[in-house]
Chains A and B, each alone.
Chain A
Amino acid sequence: MSVKDYLRERYFPHMWCPGCGHGTVLNSLLRAVEALGLNKNDIVMTSGIGCSARISGYVDFHSLHTIHGRALAFATGVKFSKPELKLLVPMGDGDALAIGGNHFIHAARRNIDMTAIVMNNRIYGMTGGQFSPLSGLDKKATTAPYLTIDNNFDVVELARAAGASFVARTTTYHALEAVDLLKRAIDHKGFSVVEILSQCPTHFGRKNKEGDATNMLELYKANTAKLGSKALKENPSLIARGIFVDETRPEYCEAYEEIIQRATGGKR
């Protein structure tokens, strides 16, 4: 199958801005799904609200475009009723960690088998460029014309602390790496989080003088380094990429099935 077989081509060209990183995330995700040879009838994608959430409309899987921040809550419901399905949950940074912050940490704590993809563009793009909990200190946004004073979350550390059993980070510049990490995350049994830094040239890039999409990608290349690399050791201020957590832990649906067996004395 080619990548296009997983698309709803009738909705193209998509609504994302020229140079938006979310398109590259969609591209990488489809390649990962294709490489794993998954049947599109076995995949459910749930998404919330925002630029990133529009991704569920473009893929030819089962899809749920739900309410803001609740993509993981809906995904939990789907997974719990049909554990044989693969759940892909792409979310924006605000969707995952501001509005849906509680759903995020509790889904991670339960270690329920699904793949959360945080498409981190560090801004609320759809509503006009307000700063998000991932914008970080000293950034400009339409709601912070004199720079932000808010610290940002570290998605990787947050997911690790909350109990996710697979945590990885990459960028839209590193497309091959993104495909590889997504493949491993989808294959992982348990709650997996992949943070993909994604450029928003329209809002974040323009406000923070990071130039156009190509320049923002150059910045990802310059400001990130692979976990365990020499570059990262020499300059720890770089953003680390790679797999941070990859552990096998009891999965929620399986643990629940055991409870059912115990309660019914194995009669079901």
Chain B
Amino acid sequence: MARLKLKEHAINREWCKGCGICIHFCPKQVLELDSMEKVVAATPEDCICCKLCELRCPDLAIEVLTDQDEKND
């Protein structure tokens, strides 16, 4: 399988409650909370597109968009 390439982290700030699950379990420490206690991708260049944040997010607020998604659409 070809390596997925990140397009962007689509974060729904209205839905995010800042629980920190995605931040804690990110294997590359890509995410962090901003001053509003919402998640932001601080170092998106480190993202390996494992999508663990997307899978575990209890608020369905984060989506990892990759180049693969574009091809599927």
Output the residue of A7, A172, A179, A213 with the most chain B CB within 10 A. Answer: A213
Cβ-defined contact, A23 with B59, below 8 A: yes
The 0/1 profile, CB within 8 Å of A marked 1, for residues 32-73 of chain B is: 000000000000000000001001111111000000000000
- Interface residue from A3, A19, A212 paired with B60 (Cβ < 8 Å): A3
Chain B interface, >50% SS class: loop
Q: Is the CB of A22 within 8 A of B55?
A: no
CB contact under 8 A between A13 and B15, given known A19-B21, A214-B20, A214-B25: yes
Interface of A is mostly: helix
Contact in complex: B52, A19 (CB < 8 Å):
no
Query: B residues near A, CB below 8 A?
Result: 14-15, 17-21, 24-25, 52, 55-61
State A176–B52 Cα separation when bound (angstroms).
9
Say which one of A24-32, A140-148, A189-197 lies at the interface with B. A24-32
Cα A87 to Cα B18 with chains together (Å): 33
- Residues of chain A within 8 A (CB-CB) of B58 are 16, 19-24, 26-27, 172, 213
Q: Is the CB of B15 within 8 A of A19?
A: no
A217 CB-CB contact with B under 8 Å: yes
Q: Is A14 part of the binding interface, using a Cβ–Cβ cutoff of 8 Å?
A: yes
A residues adjacent to B (C-beta < 8 A)? 3-4, 7, 12-14, 16-24, 26-28, 30-31, 172-173, 175-176, 179, 201, 212-214, 217
A-B contact pairs, 17 of them (CB 8 A): A3-B60, A12-B14, A13-B14, A18-B18, A19-B17, A19-B58, A23-B57, A23-B58, A23-B60, A26-B58, A26-B60, A172-B58, A175-B52, A213-B19, A213-B21, A217-B21, A217-B24
Using A17-B17, A19-B19 as known contacts, list a sample of 12 further A-B pairs with CB atoms less than 8 Å apart, ordered by residue number in A.
A3-B60, A4-B60, A13-B14, A18-B19, A19-B20, A19-B58, A27-B57, A27-B58, A201-B19, A214-B20, A214-B25, A217-B21
Question: How far apart are B17's CB and chain A's nearest CB, in angstroms?
Answer: 4
Asked whether, in the complex, the Cβ of B19 is within 8 Å of the Cβ of A172, the reply is: no
Q: Contact between A14 and B21 (Cβ–Cβ < 8 Å)?
A: no
Could you tell me the distance in whole angstroms from the C-beta of A60 to the nearest C-beta in chain B? 13
Distance A17 CA – B59 CA, assembled complex (angstroms): 10
- What is the chain B residue whose CB lies nearest that of A24? B58
B25 proximity list for chain A (CB < 8 A) = 214, 217
Q: B17–A27 contact, CB under 8 A?
A: no
